[in-house]
Amino acid sequence: MAELAEWLQQHAPCGYEIDVAGWCVAARRVASPNCNARPASSEVELVVLHNIHLPPGKPFAGHDVEHLFTNTLDRSAHPSYPQLAELRVSAHFFLRRDGCLLQFVPTTARAWHAGVSSWQGRPGCNDFSVGIELEGSDFIAFEPIQYAVLDMLLAALCKRHPVVAIAGHSDVAPGRKTDPGPWFDWRRVRTGLQEGHVRVAGGEQNSAPAAELRPDGASPQQST
Ligand SMILES: [Zn+2]
């Protein structure tokens, strides 16, 4: 744990707070065009957790998720990429296996991560949520450093926005999405979260298997 604390001190000496414009000071900023304004009456009340990695089935390396979220994916690099390159998707954050945090969209804006979704009967989760992509899959455990950074990011988000719940993509799009998947340890998030009023709702509902990162056609409700 001493090594972990040292790593965090080096990588986030200023902490993970979210500034007034919606940017996390500790994140590497890679602006995505795949975003728009939230509806005037919407505030960030929900955090949606996902998993993603590219290319499919390959070791965690490279920058293709960045390319996907910035519409610069090399279509020739993988057989699935011509279809993926048609998607217009993003997330606010991408948390890599080594704990590095990237931010594509300010939290004050609406990223395109949840697609067709609902939370407690309220549709269109992109309107009122922040999306965090964890580099990983439904088939492998996440890294301890990812949970450590996630704890701090969630605390910062709860401080900056009126967050009331944290859920998985599989919770807001059951039957269509499976991420963050069975290997994601929701108990660690519950343990790490200091904000007692925030409901860690992930994993409360079972979801049917579905292919993650399946292109959903030209629908404006695309998701990751
Ligand atoms: Zn997802």
Tens-place pLDDT, residues 194-213: 877 899 988 665 443 333 33
pLDDT at 58: 85
Neighbours of 120 (CB within 10 A): 11
Would residue 209 count as lying in a domain? no
Would residue 220 count as lying in a domain? no
pLDDT at 12: 58
Region 119-133 average pLDDT: 97
Tokens of 119: 């939370």
Q: Give the number of domains in the chain.
A: 1
Query: The whole model's pTM is what?
Result: 0.88
Would residue 30 count as lying in a domain? yes
**Which H or E run contains 199?**
strand 199-200
125 CA distance to ligand 1 middle (Å)? 12
Would residue 207 count as lying in a domain? no
Active site residue 6: no
- Residues above pLDDT 70, as percent of the chain: 86
Would residue 222 count as lying in a domain? no
DSSP states along 122-183: EE-GGGGEEEEEEE--TTSPPPHHHHHHHHHHHHHHHHHS---EEEEHHHHSTTT--TT-TT
129 CA distance to ligand 1 middle (Å)? 13
Tokens of 99: 């704990």
Would residue 23 count as lying in a domain? yes
In this structure, of 49-53, 56-60, 64-68, 207-211, the range with the lowest mean pLDDT score is 207-211
Region 96-112 average pLDDT: 97
DSSP states along 53-116: -SSTTS-S-SSHHHHHHTT---GGGSTTHHHHTT-----SEEE-TTS-EEE-S-TTEEES-B-S
- Please pick, among 17, 45, 133, 204, the residue that the annotation labels catalytic: 133
180 CA distance to ligand 1 middle (Å)? 7
pLDDT at 130: 98
126 has pLDDT over 80: yes
Tokens of 79: 């057989």
Range of the domain at 93: 2-34+44-200
pLDDT in tens, 148-161: 999 999 999 999 99
pLDDT at 223: 80
Of the pLDDT bands very low, low, confident and very high (cuts 50, 70, 90), residue 60 is very high
pLDDT at 72: 97
Region 124-147 average pLDDT: 97
193 has pLDDT over 90: no
Would residue 213 count as lying in a domain? no
Region 87-115 average pLDDT: 98
Q: Which residues, at least 6 apart from 1, have a Cβ–Cβ distance to it below 8 Å?
A: none
Tokens of 15: 């902490």
Of the pLDDT bands very low, low, confident and very high (cuts 50, 70, 90), residue 215 is very low
31 has pLDDT over 90: yes
178 CA distance to ligand 1 middle (Å)? 7
Instruction: Give the residue with greater pLDDT, 172 vs 12.
Output: 172
For residue 39, give the DSSP letter: P
- Domain of 59, CATH number, reads 3.40.80.10
pLDDT at 204: 67
pLDDT at 9: 61
